Structure 1
Amino acid sequence: MRFKILPFLGVICLLCFSCSYKQQHALFQDKPTQTANITQGTIPTAYHIKADDILQIRNLENYKFLAPVEGVSSTAGSDGAGSQTYQVEEDGSVTLPVIGHIPVAGLTRYEAARKIEKLYRENLLKNAIIELKVLNLKVTVLGEIKSQGNYPLLKDKTTLIDIIGQAGGLNNAADEKNVKIIRKENGSQKTIWVDLSDVNILNSPNIILQDDDIVYIAQNKRAVRDDKIQNFSTLVQPSLLIFNTALIIYTLFR
């Protein structure tokens, strides 16, 4: 009789073991100490250019003007208009054709574009229209989203909603009430919790993303439960096979 209950004891042991299983991809699991009003917060200031930034600059009035120079890479936009990339030097300046070294560190994208535009109009082009982007700014998106990875911040005030849209949207396992933005601020780590099911989130300055932000979308409870069931089944099936084989062997020899 005691051998007949062995399979049941084995199943019970495996069940207890499976209950301690933790989700393998549950990253960044610190919990907020208090609930904050998500509509409150300070509106982030526009990004200020600094040394080693990579600038994409093109003249929309005459894109052929910013011709490639030695040591400078050239790219082409999807509209066929040429554009050039320039690295900001350690002294905070960028070297441009004709007008030379232009200090841009500390300026916003808009301020730098207007400064370069003004210099070209004064020195060469009557109707220069300069477009400037900082190419090295990015956010990292992880978790339950269609396409994880790094996404560039090519414009000011890019929001969490913008980036989720670029990444293809949340997948079926996502917990829309449990989205976190991890940010470095003044040398320390800051976590912003976002509930996407709350329409008021659209008015929150907290969802405006900044350079090097990490966005993590956790699994919902149903997905966590399904993972546990799947792992339990994976563990139980081979174990039951071993027990049944052992019982068959025992019965035959007996």
Structure 2
Amino acid sequence: MGYKIYFYLLLGLFLICTSCSTRQYQVLFQQKNALSDSSYQNTDTVAEYKIKAQDVLQVRNLQDTKLLVNNNPSPALNTSVLASGAASTSEQDFKVDDDGTVILPAIGRIKVAGYTRIEAQKLVEEAYRKNVLVNPIIELKIVSLKVTMLGEIRGQGNFPLIKDHTSLIEMIGAAGGITEKADETNIKIIRGTKKNPKVIVVDLGNIQSVNDPKTILQNGDIIYIAQNKRATRNDNYQSFTTTIFQPALLLFNTALIIFTLIRH
């Protein structure tokens, strides 16, 4: 009788163990059919970003900030306080309207959509030279551009692309660097439109990746850094220990106690 009870207890233990499932570690952006990045092969130059509607520009005159800045920027100040010549040393942001124009103090609307940052900067500078300022030196930045960092990176989230030709290495540095679990040979840059995304795989273990034009980041890029195989194995082992082995061991010990009590 005692052996039958022991057998049924072991059978129950086996069924419980086989019904459990280990935690699944899914790697983001996996694709059964790898997307081709051939359009980025043999590229010696990087296409300059062209300003679009809803972009936010930061404009200032490096010689005289009175007409272009305000201590507490807000959309309502773009054509009122700023036009009156409020003095400050901070930058002022201006949003590009749907028609591709931006309203700037003292010169009004000027079309900037479709132009690169440098081209728009020259246009604004020329407009101020003709109508308002003497020998202005205009600095124009596009402050609404960003990339997203995910995975084994110390600082996840959205990061602005303030500087032209920001590289993957520079952005990883700005995010605090990769973690000890990161797979530096498998860094993915997801780029393109929702209908036509492309995945660019970068191997930072290869020194040539530093000068690869594909690693120059573009607005909207998603950078995903996967776990290395060792970290994945360790996590899977810990998951197995926590979800299956420890409960099974507890149940087995309980079964032995019950069996011992029954025999006595």
TM superposition score category, shorter chain reference: 0.7 to 0.9
Name the residue aligned to 1:30: 31
Aligned length: 247
SS in 2 for 1:193: strand
Structure 1 residue runs without a partner (length 5+): 75-79
8 Å CA contact retained: 1:72, 1:85 = no
| Code of the aligned partner of 1:56 | Q
Alpha carbons of structure 1 residues 250 and 229: separation in structure 2 relative to 1, 3 Å: same
Task: Give the Cα–Cα distance (whole angstroms) in 1 for the partners of residues 69 and 166 of structure 2.
Answer: 30
Deviates more, 1:127-136 or 1:143-152: 127-136
Alpha carbons of structure 1 residues 6 and 148: separation in structure 2 relative to 1, 3 Å: same
One of 50, 53, 56 as aligned partner of 1:54: 56
8 Å CA contact retained: 2:36, 2:199 = no
The answer to whether the aligner puts 1:85 opposite 2:86 as a matched pair is no
Name the residue aligned to 1:243: 252
Identity of aligned residues (%): 48
8 Å CA contact retained: 2:146, 2:160 = yes
Name the residue aligned to 1:174: 182
SS in 1 for 2:52: coil
Superposed, which structure 2 residues align to 1:1-254 within 5 Å? Answer: 3=6, 10=13, 14=17, 21-24=23-26, 26-30=27-31, 32=34, 40-41=42-43, 43-68=45-70, 71-72=76-77, 81-185=89-193, 187-235=195-243, 236-254=245-263
Alpha carbons of structure 1 residues 215 and 99: separation in structure 2 relative to 1, 3 Å: same
SS in 2 for 1:225: helix
SS in 2 for 1:247: helix
Q: How far is the alpha carbon of 1:190 from its aligned partner?
A: 0.6
What is the CA deviation profile of residues 2-28 of structure 1, one whole-angstrom value per residue up to 9, with x for unaligned ones?
A: 73896699589848966x65315x211
SS in 1 for 2:91: strand
Q: How far is the alpha carbon of 1:181 from its aligned partner?
A: 0.6
TM-score relative to the length of structure 1: 0.85
SS in 2 for 1:44: coil
8 Å CA contact retained: 1:39, 1:203 = no
Alpha carbons of structure 1 residues 83 and 211: separation in structure 2 relative to 1, 3 Å: same
Alpha carbons of structure 1 residues 243 and 176: separation in structure 2 relative to 1, 3 Å: same
Q: How far is the alpha carbon of 1:33 from its aligned partner?
A: 6.9
Q: How far is the alpha carbon of 1:162 from its aligned partner?
A: 1.2
Give the superposed CA RMSD.
Answer: 3.1
Task: Give the Cα–Cα distance (whole angstroms) in 2 for the partners of residues 70 and 139 of structure 1.
Answer: 25
Deviates more, 1:193-202 or 1:114-123: 114-123
What is the CA deviation profile of residues 88-128 of structure 1, one whole-angstrom value per residue up to 9, with x for unaligned ones?
A: 11111111111111111111111111111111122222131
Task: Give the Cα–Cα distance (whole angstroms) in 1 for the partners of residues 101 and 36 of structure 2.
Answer: 44
Structure 2 residue runs without a partner (length 5+): 82-87
SS in 2 for 1:127: coil
Q: How far is the alpha carbon of 1:42 from its aligned partner?
A: 6.0
| Code of the aligned partner of 1:52 | Q
Name the residue aligned to 1:77: none
8 Å CA contact retained: 2:37, 2:200 = no
8 Å CA contact retained: 1:58, 1:66 = yes
SS in 2 for 1:179: strand
Task: Give the Cα–Cα distance (whole angstroms) in 2 for the partners of residues 10 and 179 of structure 1.
Answer: 42
Alpha carbons of structure 1 residues 164 and 13: separation in structure 2 relative to 1, 3 Å: same
8 Å CA contact retained: 2:187, 2:225 = yes
